[in-house]
Copies of this chain bind each other. A is one copy, B any other.
Amino acid sequence: MNADIYEVVHRRRDVRAEFTGAPIPEDVLRRILTAAHAAPSVGLSQPWDFVLVADPAVRRAFYEHVQHERATFAATLTGADAERFARIKIDGVLESSLSIVVTYDPERGSPAVLGRHAIADAGLYSVCLAIQNLWLAATAEELGVGWVSFYREPYARRLLGIPDGIRPVAWLCVGPVTHLETTPDLERHGWRARRPLDAAIHHDRW
């Protein structure tokens, strides 16, 4: 296992097609969830939960929903965009070993969440920090992770029995992979190229 932080950060990919379907060893799963749970959070609220979805019937239902949402998005495209999108795989829900759904509970630590009075979304930000910890730890463990975002939150909430007020933030497909691509899928398929870092840097003012 090569676990150098920079190596992992730059090797990490958003995986769709490379899952083998092999199971995730329990100790590995525990390490990556422990890493996620060690993320920083506003007011130490740790507002995340992890729903581990192994049940094939649940994943099949979600997959069908994702296909419907794919068609919805495809219908907004024309010409070259439509052709490019037709070649892009958008999920590995059925091929990966496990789905991990990460949620946000805005009531955790309420009413006085230290640091959230001025920025309502700060709790949501915390959940994303946990997701990136999970993603990097999984990459270090030679697993792939694919974030599926072609779904409607109310559907995921109903499917998994997530209580009212708690928000699904990410549906992650996780599992062993044959390899990780060196270039992001969307760049390989000509959808979009990466931006140079220097274009994103400003000094003192925008």
Contacts and interface: CB of A to CB of B under 8 A. Distances in A.
Contacts of A192: 43-45, 109, 114
A116 B149 CA distance: 7
A112 B77 contact: yes
B52 A202 contact: yes
Interface string A146-163: 010111110000001111
B150 A115 contact: yes
Contact of A50 (B46, B54, B73, B200): B200
A150 B204 contact: no
Contacts of A3: 4-6
A197 B37 CA distance: 7
Given A128-B129, A133-B132, A169-B125, A202 B51 contact: yes
Number of copies: 2
Interface string A67-82: 0010011001100010
Interface of A: 3-6, 8-10, 12-14, 31, 33-35, 37-40, 42-46, 48-55, 58, 69, 72-73, 76-77, 81, 85, 88, 90, 109, 112, 114-119, 121-122, 124-125, 128-129, 131-133, 135-137, 140, 147, 149-153, 160-163, 166, 169-170, 184, 186-187, 191-192, 194-195, 197, 200-206
Residue of A52, A125, A149, A192 with most partner-chain B CB within 10 A? A149
Nearest to A52: B203
A195 B74 CA distance: 42
B195 A46 contact: yes
Given A114-B88, A114-B186, A5 B137 contact: yes
